[in-house]
Chains A and B, each alone.
Chain A
Amino acid sequence: MTTDPSRLLPRRSLIALAATTGAALAALPAFTASAAPKRPVNSAPYDGSSPDTLWWEAPADDNSMIEQGLPVGNGRLGALASNDPGRELLLLTDATLWTGGLNDQLDADGQFPYDRDNFGSFTLLGRLTVDIPDHDLGAVTGYRRTLDLAQGVVTTSYTRSRVTYERQIFASRPDDVIVLHFTQSGGGRYTGTVRLEGTHGEGASVAFGAAFPGGLKYGAAVTAYGTGGRVTVSGSQIAFVGCKDLTVVVSGGTNYAPDAVKGFRDPSLDPERLARTKVRDAAAHSADTLLRTHVADHRALFGKFDISLGTSSAEQRSLDTWERIKARTGSGDPDPELEAAYVQFGRYLMISGSRGSLPLGLQGLWLDGNDPAWMGDYHTDINIQMNYWMADRAGLSACFDAFTDYCVAQAPAWTDLTRRLFNDSRNRYRNSSGRNAGWTVAISTNPFGGGGWWWHPAGNAWLCNTLWDHYEFTRSRSHLEKIYPLLKGACEFWEARLLTTTLPGTSREVLIADSDWSPEHGPLDAKGITYAQELVWALFGHYCTAAAELKCDNAYAATVSGLRKRLYLPQVSPKTGWLEEWMSPDNLGETTHRHLSPLIGLFPGDRIRPDGSIPADIVAGATALLTARGMESFGWANAWRSLCWARLKNAESAYRLIVNNLRPSTNGSNGTAANLFDIYELGPGNGVFQIDANLGTPAAVIEMLLYSRPGHLELLPALPDAWAKSGSVKGIGARGGFVVDLRWQNGKPTEALIRSVGGRTTTVAYGDTSRSVSLEPGGSVTLKDFAR
Chain B
Amino acid sequence: MRSSSYSVMPARTLRAVVVLALAAAAVTVAPAVRAETTAPAASTAPALAAKPYMGWSSWSMQSSKYPGLNPDGDYSYLTEANVSKQTDALAAKLKKYGYEYVNIDAGWWRDNAWKPEYDQYGRQQADPKRFPSGMKAVADRIHAKGLKAGIYLPAGLEKEAYGDGRTPVWNADGCTTADIVHSDLRTTNGWDSSYQLDFSRPCTQKYIDSQAELIAGWGYDFLKLDGVGPGSGKSGDQYDNVADVAAWNKAIAATGRPIHLELSWSLDIGHAADWKKYSQGWRIDTDVECYCNTLVSWENSVDDRWDDTPGWTRHAGPGGWNDLDSLDVGNGGMDGLTKAERQSYATLWAIAKSPLFTGDDLTRLDSYGLSLLTNKEVIALNQGNTPPARPITPSDPQQVWAAKNPDGTYTVALFNLADRPAAVSASWASLGFTGTAAVRDLWNHENLGTHKDKVTEALPAHGSRLFTVTPHGSTLAYTGYEAESPANTLTGNASVADCSACSGGHKVGNLYLGGKLTFNDIVVPKAGTYQVKIDYVSGDARSVAVSTNGGGAANHKFPSTGDWSTAETVSVPLTLKAGSNTITFDSGNSYAPDIDRIDVPKSS
A161 within 8 A of B: yes
Residue of A nearest to B343 (CB): A138
B11 within 8 A of A: no
B420: contacting residue among A60, A161, A315, CB under 8 A = A60
In the complex, what distance in Å separates the CA atom of A329 from the CA atom of B464? 27
Chain B residues with Cβ under 8 A from A161's Cβ? 446
Chain A residues with Cβ under 8 A from B339's Cβ? 136, 138
Is there contact, CB below 8 Å, between A137 and B459? yes
Chain A residues with Cβ under 8 A from B448's Cβ? 141
B465 within 8 A of A: yes
Is there contact, CB below 8 Å, between A84 and B575? no
Chain A residues with Cβ under 8 A from B456's Cβ? 57
A330: contacting residue among B420, B458, B552, CB under 8 A = B552
A119 within 8 A of B: no
A137: contacting residue among B460, B548, B554, CB under 8 A = B460
Is there contact, CB below 8 Å, between B421 and A61? yes
Chain B residues with Cβ under 8 A from A158's Cβ? 458
A59: contacting residue among B419, B458, B554, CB under 8 A = B458
Chain A residues with Cβ under 8 A from B421's Cβ? 58-61, 64, 68, 84, 137
* Binary flags per residue of B544-566, CB closer than 8 Å to A gives 1, else 0: 00001001111000000000000
In the complex, what distance in Å separates the CA atom of A323 from the CA atom of B419? 17
Q: A141-B441, A329-B552 are in contact. Are A315 and B527 (CB under 8 A)?
A: yes
In the complex, what distance in Å separates the CA atom of A629 from the CA atom of B135? 77
Is there contact, CB below 8 Å, between A139 and B444? yes
A63: contacting residue among B420, B444, B464, CB under 8 A = B420
B461 within 8 A of A: yes
In the complex, what distance in Å separates the CA atom of A136 from the CA atom of B341? 13
Is there contact, CB below 8 Å, between A63 and B575? no
Q: A138-B340, A141-B441 are in contact. Are A63 and B528 (CB under 8 A)?
A: no
Chain A residues with Cβ under 8 A from B527's Cβ? 313, 315
Is there contact, CB below 8 Å, between A57 and B551? no
Chain B residues with Cβ under 8 A from A141's Cβ? 441, 446, 448, 457
Is there contact, CB below 8 Å, between A138 and B420? no
B458: contacting residue among A58, A64, A323, A332, CB under 8 A = A58
B66 within 8 A of A: no
A320 within 8 A of B: yes
Interface Cβ pair total, 8 Å cutoff: 80
Chain A residues with Cβ under 8 A from B137's Cβ? none
In the complex, what distance in Å separates the CA atom of A663 from the CA atom of B382? 42
B552: contacting residue among A63, A137, A332, CB under 8 A = A332
B575: contacting residue among A58, A137, A143, A327, CB under 8 A = A327
In the complex, what distance in Å separates the CA atom of A329 from the CA atom of B446? 37
B443 within 8 A of A: yes
Chain B residues with Cβ under 8 A from A68's Cβ? 420-421
In the complex, what distance in Å separates the CA atom of A759 from the CA atom of B339? 63
* Min CB gap B87→A, angstroms: 31
In the complex, what distance in Å separates the CA atom of A332 from the CA atom of B448? 35
In the complex, what distance in Å separates the CA atom of A315 from the CA atom of B460? 26
Residue of A nearest to B550 (CB): A332
Chain A residues with Cβ under 8 A from B422's Cβ? 58
B380 within 8 A of A: no
Is there contact, CB below 8 Å, between B423 and A57? yes
Within 8 A of A (CB), among B531-553: 548, 551-553
A67 within 8 A of B: yes
B391 within 8 A of A: no
Chain A residues with Cβ under 8 A from B419's Cβ? 63-64
Query: What is the size, in residues, of chain A's interface with B at 8 Å between Cβ atoms?
Result: 31
B156 within 8 A of A: no
Residue of A nearest to B420 (CB): A64
Residue of B nearest to A319 (CB): B529
Residue of A nearest to B419 (CB): A63
Chain A residues with Cβ under 8 A from B444's Cβ? 139
Q: A138-B343, A139-B444, A143-B458 are in contact. Are A67 and B420 (CB under 8 A)?
A: yes
In the complex, what distance in Å separates the CA atom of A181 from the CA atom of B340? 26
* Min CB gap A254→B, angstroms: 31
Q: A315-B528, A330-B575 are in contact. Are A58 and B423 (CB under 8 A)?
A: yes
Chain B residues with Cβ under 8 A from A61's Cβ? 420-421, 460-461
Chain B residues with Cβ under 8 A from A313's Cβ? 527
Chain A residues with Cβ under 8 A from B504's Cβ? none
Is there contact, CB below 8 Å, between B420 and A331? no
Is there contact, CB below 8 Å, between A331 and B551? yes
Is there contact, CB below 8 Å, between B463 and A315? no
* Min CB gap B419→A, angstroms: 6
A56 within 8 A of B: yes
In the complex, what distance in Å separates the CA atom of A323 from the CA atom of B425? 11
* Min CB gap B437→A, angstroms: 15
Residue of B nearest to A327 (CB): B575
Is there contact, CB below 8 Å, between A138 and B461? no
Residue of B nearest to A141 (CB): B448
* Binary flags per residue of A314-337, CB closer than 8 Å to B gives 1, else 0: 010000101100010111110000
Chain A residues with Cβ under 8 A from B548's Cβ? 331
Chain B residues with Cβ under 8 A from A333's Cβ? 551, 575
In the complex, what distance in Å separates the CA atom of A313 from the CA atom of B577? 12
In the complex, what distance in Å separates the CA atom of A469 from the CA atom of B219? 90
Chain B residues with Cβ under 8 A from A139's Cβ? 443-444
Chain B residues with Cβ under 8 A from A315's Cβ? 527-529, 575
A138: contacting residue among B443, B551, B552, CB under 8 A = B443
Residue of A nearest to B416 (CB): A58
Is there contact, CB below 8 Å, between B460 and A330? no
* Binary flags per residue of B443-470, CB closer than 8 Å to A gives 1, else 0: 1101010000000111111011100000
Which residue of B339, B443, B457, B529 has the most chain A CB atoms within 10 A of its CB atom?
B457
Q: A58-B421, A67-B420, A84-B421 are in contact. Are A330 and B554 (CB under 8 A)?
A: yes
* Min CB gap A59→B, angstroms: 5
In the complex, what distance in Å separates the CA atom of A108 from the CA atom of B516? 58
Chain A residues with Cβ under 8 A from B443's Cβ? 138-139
In the complex, what distance in Å separates the CA atom of A29 from the CA atom of B273? 78
Chain B residues with Cβ under 8 A from A143's Cβ? 423, 457-458
Is there contact, CB below 8 Å, between B423 and A56? yes
Within 8 A of B (CB), among A545-568: none
Which residue of B421, B553, B575 has the most chain A CB atoms within 10 A of its CB atom?
B421
* Binary flags per residue of A133-166, CB closer than 8 Å to B gives 1, else 0: 0001111110100000000000000100100000
Residue of A nearest to B553 (CB): A330
Question: Can you give 30 contacting A-B residue pairs, CB < 8 Å?
Answer: A58-B422, A58-B458, A61-B420, A61-B421, A61-B461, A64-B420, A68-B420, A68-B421, A84-B421, A137-B340, A137-B458, A137-B459, A137-B460, A138-B339, A138-B340, A138-B343, A138-B443, A138-B463, A139-B444, A140-B458, A141-B441, A141-B448, A161-B446, A315-B527, A322-B423, A329-B552, A330-B551, A330-B552, A331-B551, A332-B552
Known contacts A313-B527, A322-B423, A323-B423, then 6 further A-B pairs from the complex at CB < 8 Å, ordered by chain A residue: A56-B423, A57-B423, A64-B420, A84-B460, A137-B340, A315-B575
Binding site for A on B (CB under 8 A): 339-340, 343, 419-423, 441, 443-444, 446, 448, 456-461, 463-465, 527-529, 548, 551-554, 575
The 4 closest A-B pairs by CB, nearest first: A57-B423, A64-B420, A143-B458, A332-B551
